[in-house]
Structure 1
């Protein structure tokens, strides 16, 4: 009976591990959620898109990654909301940055631009041209310099 129970648990763990692994596939720009397509065409150009990937995870759902010719990387959630913009050494579109974060960066780091921004359910993280990483709460209030 113990051997059978161990075998069942082993099989169950293997199945869970296989299901939990993310699956990625290349898709076309038009297969992105509409909101993501609008974001790309508003702040960049659709003809600059070189790669669009869809990632599916068992518990996390779908997410999307878009790469542009100039190295910019965009990430979106299943609804097409941006979750990260990594503009390499260029500034991210200022209109996507909450006003309070923009104001803080301009005041505290006047000779820098935001080159990367990510948003999660409880915080924003930004990287500046000088390499400094800053963390803000979901209301856009400064929390700390991230090491």
Structure 2
């Protein structure tokens, strides 16, 4: 039986491949979805891959995941640095969370070096481009398999 994981993407990630390719790479969000789906299948997970530019919609998806998923992988985009609401939602659902960033946020603008999401995250992957999503899937599979083997 495969475990289900939400993969949530925040604002402007729908512009991947167009927006600052020197920072974010040339792969599109759809390319990331395909890559993530393949990694999930390889690791015995199914995923629900979503993107929104709307903070409240992301909060609603996090809350929805509580009853439907074993974990959340999230690239909150710009909301990483501003959203207490997403942090509160992630903390409320009591699920493992892997935070992902395509770029290394610690080599960017000062304001990007703080993450509210990290306060709820089991782990953080940043700076490895699209490969970070695959690594997040592998990490989540390990986390989910450990928790199901204890049950």
TM-score normalised to the size of structure 2?
0.25
Q: Which has the greater radius of gyration?
A: 1
Higher relative contact order (CA closer than 8 Å, sequence separation 6+) = 2
Instruction: Report which of the two has the higher share of helix.
Output: 2
| TM-score normalised per structure 1 | 0.26
